[in-house]
């Protein structure tokens, strides 16, 4: 009797509609979950490319070599950058440039767009923003004086993955290799510079290194994640021991 009642109810139009509605609801939830996962992964990848790394450590001075060694020991890939402003010369024509020196790993994520395509700052050469080229009336293959160094122009830098937006960056960009910074003589004790260290790795590697690093940060440091949240020094004693007059990034 129960079986006949169940079969009769199962075949009724009203119950069929309920089952169809439930099936549709479950399908929608699964589809939305899948779309949400894909969007989250896409946004995470875009954030990596925007930062050219999974994490960024900003500092107004070079960090201890131990910090970089520990990151690599943790399995992370580390890229180093140094930014500063200096005068450049084409013959007797001067022009202030915003210099960005990078190592051979740059960028860890994203693409550096150049003209000709596929260039990276190599030792002995530089990449110039088109505006700097125009201001100094230079072309690819010419040389430019950057401080005390004379470097060859390999091409133009069109777009950097981690350029961001800086309304105070008035001078045009010049990109060079970290290996040539010392030759310029532009970075001296007391110079206003900004160091940026980019880190790439999996979640566990990043978490382990972050746990090791945060207690060591001083007031001149900024530890930035993909969500653009910033961690500063976590140990109050560092604020006293590192409270030198260094400009903040």
Q: Which of 3-7, 42-46, 243-247 has the highest mean pLDDT?
A: 3-7
User: Do the Cβ atoms of 175 and 115 come closer than 8 Å?
Assistant: no
* Other Cβ atoms within 10 Å of 91 Cβ, number: 11
What's residue 80's pLDDT?
98
Query: Residues of the chain with pLDDT > 70: what percent?
Result: 69
What's residue 248's pLDDT?
34
User: Do the Cβ atoms of 127 and 116 come closer than 8 Å?
Assistant: no
Euclidean distance between CA atoms 165 and 190, whole angstroms: 26
What's residue 52's pLDDT?
84
What's residue 21's pLDDT?
66
> Which of 183, 215, 184, 209 shows the shortest CA–CA distance to 197?
209
Residues 46-82 pLDDT 10s: 667 768 899 999 999 999 999 999 999 999 999 999 9
**Per-residue confidence band for 124, with pLDDT thresholds at 50, 70 and 90:** very high
**Per-residue confidence band for 168, with pLDDT thresholds at 50, 70 and 90:** low
Mean pLDDT is lowest, of 102-116, 136-150, 209-223, 225-239, for 225-239
User: Do the Cβ atoms of 222 and 113 come closer than 8 Å?
Assistant: no
Residues 35-45 pLDDT 10s: 444 544 444 44
> Which of 129, 136, 132 shows the shortest CA–CA distance to 112?
129
DSSP for the chain, please give it: -HHHHHHHHHTSHHHHHHHHHHHHHHHHHHHHHHHHHHHHHHHHHHHHHHHTSSEEEEESSPPPHHHHHHHHHTT-EEEEEEEEEEEEEETTEEEEEEEEEE-TT--SSS--EEESTT----TTEEEE-HHHHHHHT--TT-EEEETTEEEEEEEEEEE-TT----TT--SPEEEEEGGGHHHHT---TT---EEEEEEE--HHHHHHHHHHHGGG--TTEEEE-TT--EE----HHHHHHT---PPP-
What's residue 243's pLDDT?
38
């Amino acid at each position: 009797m129960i079986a006949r009642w169940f079969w009769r109810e199962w075949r009724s139009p009203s119950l069929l509609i309920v089952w169809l509605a439930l099936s549709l609801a479950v399908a929608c939830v699964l589809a939305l979950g899948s779309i949400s996962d894909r969007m989250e992964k896409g946004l995470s990848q875009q954030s990596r490319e925007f930062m050219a790394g999974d994490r960024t450590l900003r500092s107004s001075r070079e960090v201890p070599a131990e910090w970089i060694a520990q990151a690599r020991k943790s399995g992370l890939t580390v890229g180093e950058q140094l930014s500063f402003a200096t005068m450049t010369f084409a013959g007797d024509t001067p022009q202030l440039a915003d210099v960005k020196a990078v190592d051979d790993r740059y960028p860890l994520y994203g693409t550096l767009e150049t003209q000709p395509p596929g260039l990276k700052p190599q030792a002995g050469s530089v990449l110039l923003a088109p505006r700097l080229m125009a201001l100094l009336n230079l072309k690819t293959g010419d040389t430019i004086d950057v401080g005390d160094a004379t470097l060859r122009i390999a091409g133009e830098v069109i777009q950097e993955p981690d350029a961001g937006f800086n309304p105070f960056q008035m001078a045009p960009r010049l990109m060079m290799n970290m290996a040539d910074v010392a030759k310029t003589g532009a970075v001296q004790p007391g110079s206003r510079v900004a160091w940026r260290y980019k880190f790439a790795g999996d979640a566990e590697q990043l978490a382990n290194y972050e746990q090791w690093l945060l207690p060591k940060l001083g007031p001149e440091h900024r530890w930035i994640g993909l969500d653009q949240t910033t961690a500063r020094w976590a140990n109050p004693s560092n604020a006293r021991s590192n409270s030198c007059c260094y400009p903040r990034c």
